[in-house]
Structure 1
């Protein structure tokens, strides 16, 4: 029997949290439902989940602050996070993506939409169909090594950088198409599914985060370059190592 994906739902609204957790369990997920950052930390100390559903507004430490902390901690850097927000402001959505969210969903939403978003993220991060097939385990991108199994970058100074689900999906596409311009539309559809909004800034933000990990100076990116009016190109030399 296949082990269900393990989710952690973080929301301080008791009734909403209870109902949503029950619905997710009916849809086949294993769910820990908690109310705040301290309770989340308790769950993470025991076991890393496959995905965290994190509310923006929480008592004490809010969602964005928790997300920053997760992304700054090596053990939790690569855990996918889907942000929930009660506001539809573009600022909230863009800010959430900039600090490391893999996706976002605005309340109110249909449970099946949340399920679809979760499954799309898991496909990207767990390699269950949406990821491009990668035969090589390790690639060299300029001076950086890309390990597709560990989902990390090995930098020239010997340090390792974990990749989020979005970053891994993007880099997996780029290494298979070096020196080829990949349009924003293509990148969005390939990494976020057919329902993706091509005017969404998610791809630009994910590319920006990836550049920060690939380049010593992300303000003058060399590995991934923008092509005005078209998209992005992986311009660094690419070799298969293993």
Structure 2
């Protein structure tokens, strides 16, 4: 049973999410205040956080940034929920480390499906992992231990979010192949993503920043996608 924290100050929406997630056999806690939520996450890390953007005390974007900056919480899957549908707002959330982004009004069943996809593909150490074979992938000094979800650059460990890790693994396993954004959204995000293909661009840029060897190694294929040389 996965532990999910819903951080939402609209009581009706929070209870709707609780109802559907508990019906899907998840353990769900609900909080309405940003500062209280941050303290709870640090004290009792959940498997996934559903995080409203606008919250009293501390907004969702700041909470997301603080979670990613702390090694103890950096691997927690984060889904942002917001009433603001502008692409610029979605990109900001993704740049701060959100794994997924959904806008209100939404279908509760769609949220549950996305939650399942994130939990399935974003397993953290201490939970079931996607690959228990002990396989290691290497590229240009990068070493990826799949079972442990550990990435090193030849000098030190590099902290990646769950989605960044999966995207890196996908590139390494499809080296030399031109990959469309739509294909990556389906294969890495685990469903037919409706949030726009810019999310791929944001995650690729973060990989290039965190692992400089990829800055030139991941080629942009104009109006199509990417290829790892």
Same fold at TM > 0.5: yes
Q: Which residue of 2 aligns with 1:111?
A: 108
Distance 1:32 1:115 in 2: 15
Distance 1:76 1:123 in 2: 18
Distance 2:184 2:16 in 1: 35
Distance 2:106 2:223 in 1: 33
Deviation per CA, 1:125-181, whole angstroms, max 9, x where unpaired? 1399xx6x68552222212211212223212332x2232222122112111122222
Stretches of structure 2 lacking an aligned partner (at least 5 in a row)? none
Secondary structure of residue in 2 paired with 1:140:
strand
Secondary structure of residue in 2 paired with 1:112:
helix
Q: Which residue of 2 aligns with 1:16?
A: 13
Deviation at 1:81, TM superposition (A): 0.3
Q: Which residue of 2 aligns with 1:100?
A: 97
Distance 2:49 2:17 in 1: 13
Deviation at 1:5, TM superposition (A): 0.8
Q: Which residue of 2 aligns with 1:144?
A: 142
Count the aligned residue pairs. Answer: 226
Distance 2:21 2:133 in 1: 34
Distance 2:13 2:180 in 1: 39
Secondary structure of residue in 2 paired with 1:28:
coil
Whether 1:229 aligns to 2:223 is: yes
When normalised by structure 2's length, the TM-score is: 0.88
> Any conservation in 2 of the 1:24–1:31 contact (CA below 8 Å)?
yes
Distance 1:41 1:163, change over 3 A: same
Secondary structure of residue in 2 paired with 1:54:
strand
Distance 2:90 2:196 in 1: 13
CA RMSD between the two structures: 2.4
Stretches of structure 1 lacking an aligned partner (at least 5 in a row)? 236-242
Deviation at 1:21, TM superposition (A): 1.8
Deviation at 1:197, TM superposition (A): 4.0
When normalised by structure 1's length, the TM-score is: 0.84
How do 1:190-205 residues align onto structure 2 when only pairs under 5 Å count? 190-197=187-194, 199-205=196-202
Among 173, 177, 182, the alignment partner of 2:174 is 177
Q: Which residue of 1 aligns with 2:24?
A: 27
Distance 1:144 1:191 in 2: 20
Deviation per CA, 1:75-132, whole angstroms, max 9, x where unpaired? 111111000001111111111111111111111212111101111111221399xx6x
Deviation at 1:199, TM superposition (A): 4.8
Secondary structure of residue in 2 paired with 1:162:
coil
Whether 1:87 aligns to 2:84 is: yes
Which deviates more from structure 2 when the two are superposed, residues 73-82 or residues 34-43?
A: 34-43
Distance 1:182 1:74, change over 3 A: same
